[in-house]
Amino acid sequence: MLKRAIVVGASSGIGEALVRRLCREGYLVAGVARRKEALDHLAAEINRPGEARFFVYPHDVIETANAKGVFDRIVTELDGLDVVIYAAGVMPRVGEDQFDGAIDRQIFEVNVIGAMAWLDLAAERFQAQHGGMIVGLGSVAGDRGRRGQPAYCASKAALHTYLEALRNRLSRFGVHVLTVKPGPVHTPMTKGLDKLPMAIEADAAAEGILRAMNRRADVAYVPFQWGIIMPIIQSIPSLIFRRMSL
Ligand SMILES: NC(=O)c1ccc[n+]([C@@H]2O[C@H](COP(=O)([O-])OP(=O)(O)OC[C@H]3O[C@@H](n4cnc5c(N)ncnc54)[C@H](OP(=O)(O)O)[C@@H]3O)[C@@H](O)[C@H]2O)c1
């Protein structure tokens, strides 16, 4: 059966790789992001004459008041909806001695407030139709408060908890909620960073995410090895963790 998906944050990195894989698997995909040219470029690569699979919806997730209008238009134009993936995110560089409320606010607006705006819309629709899948891209960074990125870590921890609560609400309606926690991935977000342990390519991350969707996992580390490493890192006492350069 033809499936219909929204990917928020489709214009680069992991979201873009997910779009390619979903379209190859036969999905109709609506791509949401600010950069229309990047989305148009992807549509030109994917769509064949008379057979469009990828549809472009430029939108800034910070403009939460506009989310419902875009969401409703997508549902009408795709003639239904089965999957919503929130892959939008920002991780501005901050120095270890920098404390900047404007940057912290921007991180939360995209990584948390934008996510809740889109996934609340998905939750309401999927609850009513008794089915559907919600996927949120968290991070291993949300499992521990690392000194390099306080607001980014906090935003991902908030997203993880929000997704867990959505799962607890929606499972009785047959709606599946998947929390993805990737380790480092080579994308524009991480370009130029030197410490990227066990980093993988965006397409490998997308492959791991689709595998987790197919086996209907609740929480999936990508690659799976992080699911072994992170519980160990989480068990390190704070007094020791603060002395480590993690
Ligand atoms: N790369 C990693 O190592 C890594 C690891 C763990 C988790 N993650 C998470 O995975 C997700 C994807 O990251 P990525 O590495 O693929 O990053 P990326 O290549 O920088 O892509 C980020 C996506 O978010 C969109 N976006 C950012 N701000 C937006 C806004 N205001 N409105 C709408 N869309 C917006 C961007 O589109 P526009 O710029 O066109 O708006 C882009 O499509 C993020 O949530 C990230 O935190 C990444």
Q: How far is the CA of 13 from the centre of ligand 1 (A)?
A: 7
Q: Which residue matches tokens 């867990």?
A: 164
Residues 96-126: tens digit of each pLDDT? 899 999 999 999 999 999 999 999 999 999 9
Cα distance between residue 84 and residue 5, in whole Å = 6
Contacts of 239 (CB under 8 A, 6+ apart): none
Q: How far is the CA of 16 from the centre of ligand 1 (A)?
A: 10
Residues with CB under 6 A from ligand 1: 9-15, 33-35, 38, 60-62, 87-91, 110, 137, 139, 182, 184-185, 187-190
Shortest-distance Cα residue to atom 46 of ligand 1? 89
Q: What are phi and psi of 137, to 5 degrees?
A: -90, 100
Shortest-distance Cα residue to atom 14 of ligand 1? 13
Atom of ligand 1 nearest to the CA of 185: 3
70 closest CA partner among 79, 131, 135, 61: 61
What one-character-per-residue DSSP string does 6-27 give? EEES-SSHHHHHHHHHHHHTT-
32 closest CA partner among 63, 7, 54, 52: 7
Shortest-distance Cα residue to atom 1 of ligand 1? 185
Residues 24-60: tens digit of each pLDDT? 999 999 999 999 999 999 999 999 999 999 999 999 9
Cα distance between residue 160 and residue 76, in whole Å = 30
Residues 171-197: tens digit of each pLDDT? 999 999 999 999 999 999 999 998 899
Q: For the residues 63-84, what does the mean pLDDT come to?
A: 98
Cα distance between residue 64 and residue 202, in whole Å = 27
166 closest CA partner among 211, 106, 158: 158
Q: How far is the CA of 181 from the centre of ligand 1 (A)?
A: 14
- Find residue 83's DSSP bridge partners: 5, 133
Residue 1: predicted pLDDT: 64
Atom of ligand 1 nearest to the CA of 109: 31
From residue 188, alpha-carbon distances to 15, 52, 91, 92 in Å are: 12, 27, 10, 11
Residue 194: predicted pLDDT: 87
Shortest-distance Cα residue to atom 44 of ligand 1? 89
Residue 237: predicted pLDDT: 95
From residue 157, alpha-carbon distances to 12, 24, 139 in Å are: 23, 32, 8
Cα distance between residue 27 and residue 202, in whole Å = 19
From residue 134, alpha-carbon distances to 8, 20, 141, 162 in Å are: 12, 18, 21, 12
Cα distance between residue 157 and residue 221, in whole Å = 14
Residues 196-238: tens digit of each pLDDT? 999 999 999 999 999 999 999 999 999 999 999 999 999 999 9
Q: How far is the CA of 50 from the centre of ligand 1 (A)?
A: 30
How would CATH label the architecture of 4-241?
A: 3-Layer(aba) Sandwich (3.40)
pTM of the model: 0.98
Cα distance between residue 141 and residue 160, in whole Å = 11
Mutational pocket test of ligand 1: of 91, 189, 200, 209, the residue with most ligand atoms within 8 Å of the beta carbon: 189
Q: How far is the CA of 203 from the centre of ligand 1 (A)?
A: 14
pLDDT tops 70 at residue 71: yes
Q: How far is the CA of 118 from the centre of ligand 1 (A)?
A: 15
Q: How many helices (H) and strands (E) does the chain have?
A: 9, 9
55 neighbors 31 (Cβ within 8 angstroms) = yes
Share of the chain above pLDDT 70, in %: 99
pLDDT tops 90 at residue 244: no
Q: How far is the CA of 138 from the centre of ligand 1 (A)?
A: 11
pLDDT tops 80 at residue 94: yes
